Amino acid sequence: MQISQHTIDFFYDLRYNNNKAWFHSNKERYNIVKDNIRAFMRELNNRLNEVDVIERYKISRINRDIRFSKDKTIYKDYFWGSFVRFGKARRGGYVVCIDHEDKSFCGGGFYKPNKEDLYRIRKEFEVDQNAIKHIIKSKSFTDIFGNLIGEKLKTAPRGFSKDLPNIDLIRMKQFTVKRTFTNADVVRKDFIDMVFETYKQLRQFFDYMSMVLTTDLNGVSLLKP
């Protein structure tokens, strides 16, 4: 399944005509875009289920929620989709975003871990710095993603020494990665292959983090039989 040039062009035009009158007069164009995106996500979901177990996927709505935003732009001039892994033993999630300014990307990770999960991750990084760094410093990982990204504290979190070897990771509040694409990449026939291969590279990271979040510091499972 291929993302069409029509989809990229529509989002580009929408950026400079972000109003109801233009959108309504171009509703047929939008319907074509919506069908293109839905077909792309369906095929990507099918492929992911060959190597993982996906509970559901979500496609963003075109309308922005402007109720509490200073930006009153009505429509999103991009699309994003996400995939949720099935079950408590499978942590992490996949995302893809199609933009029109060479800013498209795919990736995933742990965007907003809750307080308990974040503490558990930090404690794991405190006692073992080798396992996570073996994954995120590997050539196969850095060639595609570079480094882990996400918000981080300016100093050590409460209860952790600033002199810990892994303090750069312990200060993080999010643990995500992304691979960016140009517009020319996005409309290639093999773009979906590139996204799928990118997701596959996340599995070692996901498997490790899932192990951390489903066990205590002694390695005892927290999941009910």
Residue 69: band (very low, low, confident or very high) from pLDDT cuts 50, 70, 90: confident
Residue 68: band (very low, low, confident or very high) from pLDDT cuts 50, 70, 90: confident
Instruction: Convert the pLDDT of each residue in 95-120 to its tens digit.
Output: 999 999 999 999 999 999 999 999 99
Give the C-alpha distances (Å, rounded to integers) separating 198 from 176, 177, 218: 13, 10, 32
User: 38 is written with which tokens?
Assistant: 């839905």
What's the rounded Cα separation, in Å, for the pair 224 and 194? 37
Mean pLDDT of 80-106: 96
Choice between 78 and 225, residue whose per-residue pLDDT is larger: 78
Instruction: Convert the pLDDT of each residue in 165-175 to its tens digit.
Output: 999 999 999 99
What's the rounded Cα separation, in Å, for the pair 164 and 11? 46
Helix (H) or strand (E) holding 98: strand 93-98
Instruction: Convert the pLDDT of each residue in 6-46 to its tens digit.
Output: 999 999 999 999 999 999 999 999 999 999 999 999 999 99
Contact (CB, 8 A) for 202 and 51:
no
Q: What is the DSSP code (8-state) at residue 149?
A: B
Is the backbone of residue 97 left (phi > 0), alpha (psi -120 to 50) or beta?
beta
Residue 136: band (very low, low, confident or very high) from pLDDT cuts 50, 70, 90: very high
Contact (CB, 8 A) for 117 and 51:
no
Whether the per-residue pLDDT at 87 is higher than 90: the answer is: yes
Contact (CB, 8 A) for 100 and 13:
no
Whether the per-residue pLDDT at 225 is higher than 80: the answer is: no
